[in-house]
Amino acid sequence: MLIWFLPVFLVLLMVGLPVFFALLFAPGVLLWLNGQERDIALLYRNLYNGMDSFPLMALPFFMLAGEVMNRGGITVRLVEFSQALMGHLRGGLAHVNILSSILFAGLSGSAVADTSALGSTLIPAMEKNGYSRKFAAAITAASSVIGPIIPPSGIMIIYAYVMGESVAALFLAGIVPGILVGLGLMLMVRLLADRYDLPKAERIVSRGQEISRLESAVSFILLRMNVAGVLAAVFFGVGSFAGGIDVNGWLVFLLFLPVAHLILMRIRHSVSHDFRVVCKKAVAPLQTPIIILGGILIGVFTPTEASAVAVFYALIVSFFVLRSMKLSDLSEVLMKSSLASATVLLLVGAAVAFKTVVSLSHAPELLADWILGLSENPLILLFLINILLFVVGMFLDAGPAIIILGPILGPIFTDLGVHPVHFAIIMSVNLTVGLATPPMGLVLFVASQVSREKVETISKAILPFLAVEIAVIFLITFVPAISMTVPRWAGFVQ
């Protein structure tokens, strides 16, 4: 009897009931018909307990940090920096678009934010440079899915919480797949550049770049500290500092500081003034992912604390260094982030409630039997699951989809011997690519809004890029090492 909640749930979802209500109504009504009134109270309690969580708090914080960073100037800085690095290639601005997305992904965990921020700067610029508008919109949408794959990532926080995995492990596991998607897209741009004769661009857009003295000093110090940190990490062997840094570690770090300075001064002489300033202006924003990942890696912060520190850093930078924010902007930024995170938190709570009924109903066992009846070979099953996730991703946002499907599919594949972290990455990448897939892909609509190009037109132009992304999905699915190497290395996965 209780097993019927799953079809009821799916039907309600398809006819348009908000996911939050469907997650509660379907199990609730069947418990009621079953006369298990007491379990309905349990449903409510789990909704509450599901939201009452410390690890989950990283979600509003990362949203807030991204929002603050996004406020002013930062997008332009990232784009100019990317252009200085890759603008001279054929199909230059398309490459710049992809690289900006990769960098932006380290600041925000959202594909929508990525599309709207980068799209509004880059699509007009690409048009001026001789690209068609639909191509510009398509590459913006296609590259924005990197946002939730590279940490910090909203959906990975949700998945880790609902499934009881380590956020840090998922974050680390997402780095290489995210970069891989980016490289795949660049390869496709390269191919298209030959075919359609895509133009090159200037590396430096506006000559005579300026930088404030304070920011220059901040970048000066941060750069040297980062390079010294990397040198020290290489010196000790990466991964050996997962337990914290001792006195020797700090001494070596200090020793490497002058070395770092010398290296940077050498590079300094070989580049132009404008190039140097453009790079310097990207240092302060790009420090955010380094703080987050560095803090988690060294074991100084939990992800929640890292996210709060990221907010703090973002505030300091935008108020005092970049001066891109005013005190009066603060309430709006806070309200926007709390509005966006509250809906997700409610959903997560409802998913936890839903999950208890899922396990009461023996649905996973039945579903597992059915799925295993299709094939016993994990590789074939993974292939089928890829297709299922891809289709779901076309219709549903990544967050809700992961909330619904994680508890049902996760255990089945873990039993088959797929590592939970690997499976999490398969799900996340699959569902985020779904965000850019016609007919219902969310970022397509955002890209259409930003570019004023029809969704249908963008949908056609995006197809070659989607082909690349699907290829990368299969690569990630069947080569676990792509996702698992970094977290293993850092000691977050056995």
Quick one: 348 or 426, whose CB is closer to other proteins? 348
The amino acid at 359: S
To other proteins, the closest distance from the beta carbon of 41 in angstroms equals: 5
To other proteins, the closest distance from the beta carbon of 134 in angstroms equals: 22
Q: What is the full DSSP assignment across 395-418?
A: HS-HHHHHHHHHHHHHHHHHHTT-
| 289 sits in which H/E element | helix 273-298
Q: What is the full DSSP assignment across 298-319?
A: HTS--HHHHHHHHHHHHHHIII
Quick one: 192 or 308, whose CB is closer to other proteins? 308
To other proteins, the closest distance from the beta carbon of 70 in angstroms equals: 11
To other proteins, the closest distance from the beta carbon of 376 in angstroms equals: 33
Length of the chain: 494
Tokens at 30, concatenated:
């069947």
| Cβ(249)–Cβ(232) below 8 Å | yes
Alpha helices in 16-153 (DSSP H): 19-33, 37-51, 58-70, 74-86, 92-105, 111-128, 133-144
Quick one: 28 or 87, whose CB is closer to other proteins? 28
The amino acid at 209: Q
Question: For 471-482, what is the HEC assignment?
Answer: HHHHHHHHCCHH
Please name the residues in contact with 343: beta carbons below 8 A apart, sequence gap of 6 or more. Answer: 20
How far does CA 435 lie from the centroid of its chain?
12
To other proteins, the closest distance from the beta carbon of 198 in angstroms equals: 30
To other proteins, the closest distance from the beta carbon of 1 in angstroms equals: 19
To other proteins, the closest distance from the beta carbon of 195 in angstroms equals: 33
- Helices 111-128 and 133-144 cross at an angle (nearest 10°) of 150
| Cβ(62)–Cβ(312) below 8 Å | no
Quick one: 87 or 349, whose CB is closer to other proteins? 349
